[in-house]
Structures are given as C-alpha cells and as structure tokens.
Amino acid sequence: MGGKRRPQSKEAVAAPSLDWQASDAPGKRRRKRGVSWLLWLLGPLLAGGAVLFLGAKEPPAHMKPQEAETPAVKVDEGTDKMKPPPVDLHNTSECAAWAADGQCAANGAFMLTRCELSCLKLELVKQAYERRCPKPENYTPTLAPGQMPRTFARIMSHFQELEPEMISEDPPVILFHKFLSDAEAEAFIKHGAGRYSKSLGVGLDKDGKMADVPTEIRTSSHGWCQHQACLDDPEVQRVTARVADVTQTPTENAEFAQLVYYHACDDESDNNKCAFYRRHSDYIAGDQYRLQGVRIYTLFTYLNDVPEGGATRFTDLPNGPVTFQPVKGKAVLWPSVLADEPHTVDPRTHHEALPVTKGEKYGANFWIHQYNFRNTHAKGCTAG
Ligand SMILES: O=C(O)CCC(=O)C(=O)O
Ligand SMILES: [Fe+2]
C-alpha cells in the first residue's frame, strides 16, 4: 500500500546466478535437481498467479515500478522449455516491500513477472509458518461481515459519556471527545518513560521473513505497554476494558498498547529533524495467514495537548481529508478493513501523523485483530 510501512532495507536480496546450466555433467545433474526442486516449489505459486491473472490489477500508480531491463537468461539448447530460476526483474528491495504488502496475491500477474523471487520467498516463509503455527479448529473471526455498522451505531447510542462524534459514516470514523480521564492518559505516559526507541516499519528482511525494518516514512519513537507494571496498572486495565467494550472485541484480540512519542522540530519540511508518520494503513497484509489475523480496528488515544502540529490526518476519506488536532483524553476509532469483507484492507482509512512543530506529542495505539492476539503472541506466532 502506498506509503504504508514500506521497508527501506538497503540490503538487496542477491539474485541467484543466471548461469545455471553449465555443461559439466555432475554439476549439471545437481543443478537440474535444483531446478526440479524449484519448479516443484514454484508450481502452486505460478498456478495461483495464473488464476489471479484474469482479475489482476497492477499495483496502484504510486507503487508501480519503473520498466525494468530484462536480464538475458542463458538457456542451453534442448532445455529452453525449462523455466529459469526465480529472479526479481525489478529492484529487489522494492519487490520485497510489495510482497510484504500482499501484492503477490493482489496483483499476481504483475508480481510474478517482475518480483518472482520475492513472491517465492514469501510463499516459503508462509509455508514454514503454517507448519510451526497450525490453525486450531473452529477458529472464528471476531468481526463478521456486515457487523461493523452495528458496532459503530451502538457506540453512538451507548457511550454518550465518551462524547462520540461520527466524523465519517462510510468508512466509519468516530472521534471521542472524552475517551480517557487525565489520570488514565498520564498513566500511559508514565509507563512509556525510558522505553521509547525509534520506530521501525513492518517489512520483509533479506530472508523474506516479516521483520521490523528501518523506514523513512516513520521517524517517531515508540515503546510498548507490555511490562508487568503497565499491564497491572488499574488505570491501564480500565482503558483496555473500555476499548474492548466499545469495539465489541475480546481484550485478547488487542495488541499490547503501543506508546508513541513525537518530538518537535522548527521546520516541518525537514525530514531529518522532524518526527512524523507519513500516509499509511495500519493493516498488515502478512497477518492474513497468521493466527492473529489482520488488524481490524485502530483506536488511537491522545495523551497530551499538542500546541502546534502533530495532527492525525485522514487523507483518503470519500468526503475529503479530515484532520484531528491532539488534545489530551481524545481518541479516534476507525477500521482498517471493509465492513463486508473484514479481511480486506480499506484504503479509505489511510492516514498520517503530521510533524509536531511546537511542544511534544504522546499517544497510544490500540490495534485490534480479527483473532486472539495475546495467545498467539505467547506461542511466538505473531511473526514469521
Ligand atoms: O500519531 C498519530 O497521530 C497516528 C499514529 C499512527 O497512525 C500509527 O502509529 O499508526
Ligand atoms: Fe497508523
């Protein structure tokens, strides 16, 4: 997704040698065995790609790679019908980012011609994950298709003390004018102290594994409310229960609260000095095959007043962009998925955090998944 947590890993994945059919016989047999193995692995992937071809779209314009030069693949006479080993014909780190973003499935035809190696790596990682973390039986998603509008209508009628304001109906976005008490907001700031470190994005590392990778689109810092003192704090527990109640999701489906921090900078166009998070979606495509499922909702809480800058801006809402200035205790709730297809990203809720130009900004992200996150985390299955 455009501007999403696109990895900026400088570590390009080395393309395998193109000289794969040398003529000495034992070596050739070995290589042929290697080729058959690759064909065996690639079979389902390529078949999937072919199926996807009819409905395939190219990545959106802002994600579209430049035309890549096709490297000459040396093919021996008599074996020219065999498929050469997978390569990324386009810039590999960009291919890896698109693969991590779910483009191998969403844009199979395009990706399998240009980013085959990255798609293959992702497929192998996925197969290894599924062996390591098998899905339990009766694994029921929390958010059923069509449920979302009822949840948002219930918020408007049942939680008047939180002063909800419906900013957008489709997709639903609610601003709570009074979500946190002062004591609750201060508790999160207290538990974040000394724990903030530079934020990373989610992407593929050089082995094709989902990993935290450096990103130029996010320069803020964050820590997690994952330590016992934070988890046991009654102020924190009250908020966690409120988030679950409002969103009609089990507390176990929420990630540990992510505590974010943005320092101020004088010149908001100075990428090196400012703290921001450029336009992105909180949806992580790779979570589709993981036990926790994708993130369905974000509830973002503001922990302090920010005198200037630092707003959250929704860039793609149907009625035009909407900007929320951080005020202590306020919160915004939105879905990352479509109401009728709650596993599919809703690109209309892309958003960005603008640079803080005066003061500083503290916030907390509550990310809620389609399935149980806490058990999945305890099993070591939220990543990989
Ligand atoms: O800081 C904000 O206003 C929003 C942060 C955000 O979008 C995120 O952390 O995913
Ligand atoms: Fe976000």
pLDDT tens-digit readout, 313-363:
999 999 999 999 999 999 999 999 999 999 999 999 999 999 999 999 999
Count CB-CB contacts under 10 A for residue 199: 22
pLDDT for residue 47 is more than 60: no
**What Rg do the C-alpha atoms of the chain give, in angstroms?**
23
pLDDT at 212: 77
Q: What share of the chain is helix, strand, coil (3-state, %, to 5)?
A: 35, 20, 45
Q: Report angle CA 230, 232, 234 to the nearest 5 degrees.
A: 95
Interval between CA 33 and ligand 1 midpoint (Å): 49
Which residues keep their CB under 5 angstroms from ion ligand 2? 282
Residue list, ligand 1 pocket, CB within 6 Å: 260, 277, 282, 300, 312, 351, 353, 363, 365
CA–CA dist 333, 69 (Å, integer) = 45
What are the tens digits of pLDDT across the range 79-95? 456 777 888 888 888 89
Which region among 134-138, 168-172, 295-299 has the lowest average model confidence (pLDDT)?
134-138
CA nearest ligand 1 atom 1, residue: 353
pTM, whole model, 2 decimals?
0.78
Q: What are the φ and ψ backbone dihedral angles of 57, each rounded to 5 degrees?
A: -110, 155
**pLDDT reported for residue 96:** 87
Q: What confidence category does residue 213 fall into, taking pLDDT thresholds of 50, 70 and 90? A: confident
Q: Is residue 367 packed enough to be buried (19+ CB in 10 Å), middle (13-18) or exposed (0-12)?
A: buried
Q: Give, using CA atoms, the residue closest to atom 6 of ligand 1.
A: 353
Q: How much of the chain, in percent, has pLDDT values that exceed 70?
A: 77
pLDDT at 148: 98
Each residue of 356-382: pLDDT tens digit?
999 999 999 999 999 999 999 999 999
Here the tokens at position 180 are: 């946190």
